[in-house]
Structure 1
Amino acid sequence: MEKVIQIIHITKELSGRWTIPILLSLDESGGRFTPLKNALQISPSRLSNNLKTMTEAGFIQHLSPFERNHPLLPEYKLTDRGRFLKEAALIISSAEQQLDQGFLAAKAWNWPVLIALYHQYHEFNAIRHLLGTVTPRILSKRLGELYEKGLVEKTLITEPAPKYTYALGMNVESIIRSVDRKLCALL
């Protein structure tokens, strides 16, 4: 149970439109703001906000003027946590290519929901309880979107009271199993 919660936490930390792209591109850009902005095709204000958030979360470190290659140009580097999350981001990115359903990690809760379903949490309230801070509205929306993409199956159970149960799609389970196994190996 503890590893499941850790994996869900990792996938939650990697959620967001720019988190994985920044983690994967930071070293290649030399940690410099402008090359990173150009590589990601992101607006300066959006990149700045994301770098600030990731610095506050402890994923990256903003180098002081004395640590930089050029004292006037901002530079960043991955922290130990950031390097760990970069490895997890590589696993998620590889799985998303196999799933061929777009950038799932761009939206919060997609990957935590898939991991919860892999670990046999099939009922809405069980998934919600496992994920902790997810709202019922967002969970319902994510389950619906994943269902529409064919990644999740839902079944109506009529007895004793009508409710839906959820499961991973047949062609998805092996990919999620691989992600789970690789993320467990990182821990």
Structure 2
Amino acid sequence: MEKEVQVIHIMKELSGRWTIPILLSLDKSGGRFTPLKNTLQISPSRLSSNLKTMTEAGLIQHLSPFERNHPLLPEYELTEKGRFMKEVALVISNAEYRLNQGFLAAKAWNWPVLIALYYQYHEFNAIRQLLQTVTPRILSKRLGELYEKGLLEKTLITNPRPKYTYALSSNTEPIIRSTNSNLSALL
């Protein structure tokens, strides 16, 4: 149970439109704001907001003027936690390439839901309880979107009360299994 919670917590931390792209591009841009902005094609305010959030989460650190290559230009570098999360981001990117469904991590809760299903949480309330902070509305939306993409299957159970159960599709399960194995190896 402990490993499940760790993997899901990591997936929640990496969910969001810009977290993984920033982690994967920070070193290539030399940690500098403008090259990073240009590489990602992101607005300065959005990048600044994401960098602040990632700094608060302990993924990156803002270098002081004395540590920078140019004292007037902002620079960032990955922390130890950020380097670990970059390795996780590479595993997720590889899995998303194999799933061929686009950038799933761009939407919060996609990956935590997939991992919950891998860990045999098949009912809506069980998934919600495992993910803790997800709202019923967003969980329902993510399950529906993942179902439409063919990444999971849902089955209607009528007794004793009608309800859906969810499972990874036969094409998705081996990819999520190897992804989970790779993530567990990093822990």
TM-score, normalized by length of structure 1?
Answer: 0.99
CA deviation after TM superposition for structure 1 residue 71, in Å: 0.3
- Name the residue aligned to 1:5: 5
Residues 78-117 of structure 1 correspond to what in structure 2 (within 5 A)? 78-117=78-117
How many residues get paired? 187
The superposition leaves residues 50-82 of structure 1 with CA deviations (integer Å, 9 ceiling, x where unpaired) of 001000110000000000000000000000000
- Name the residue aligned to 1:75: 75
SS in structure 2 opposite 1:108?
A: coil
The superposition leaves residues 74-118 of structure 1 with CA deviations (integer Å, 9 ceiling, x where unpaired) of 000000000000000000000000001010000000000000000
SS in structure 1 opposite 2:153?
A: strand
* Runs of 4+ displaced beyond 2 Å: none
Residues 25-36 of structure 1 correspond to what in structure 2 (within 5 A)? 25-36=25-36
CA deviation after TM superposition for structure 1 residue 168, in Å: 0.2
TM-score, normalized by length of structure 2?
Answer: 0.99
SS in structure 1 opposite 2:121?
A: coil
Residues 98-137 of structure 1 correspond to what in structure 2 (within 5 A)? 98-137=98-137
- Name the residue aligned to 1:54: 54
Query: Kindly, what percent of the aligned residue pairs are identical?
Result: 82
**Which ranges in structure 2 are unaligned for 5 or more consecutive residues?**
none
CA deviation after TM superposition for structure 1 residue 157, in Å: 0.2
- Name the residue aligned to 2:66: 66
CA deviation after TM superposition for structure 1 residue 158, in Å: 0.3
Aligned residue identity for 2:185: A
The superposition leaves residues 128-156 of structure 1 with CA deviations (integer Å, 9 ceiling, x where unpaired) of 00001001000000000000000010000
Residues 13-28 of structure 1 correspond to what in structure 2 (within 5 A)? 13-28=13-28
CA distance in 2, matches of 1:107, 1:41: 18
CA deviation after TM superposition for structure 1 residue 27, in Å: 0.3
CA distance in 1, matches of 2:49, 2:27: 19
RMSD of aligned Cα (Å): 0.4
CA distance in 2, matches of 1:45, 1:134: 27
SS in structure 1 opposite 2:166?
A: strand
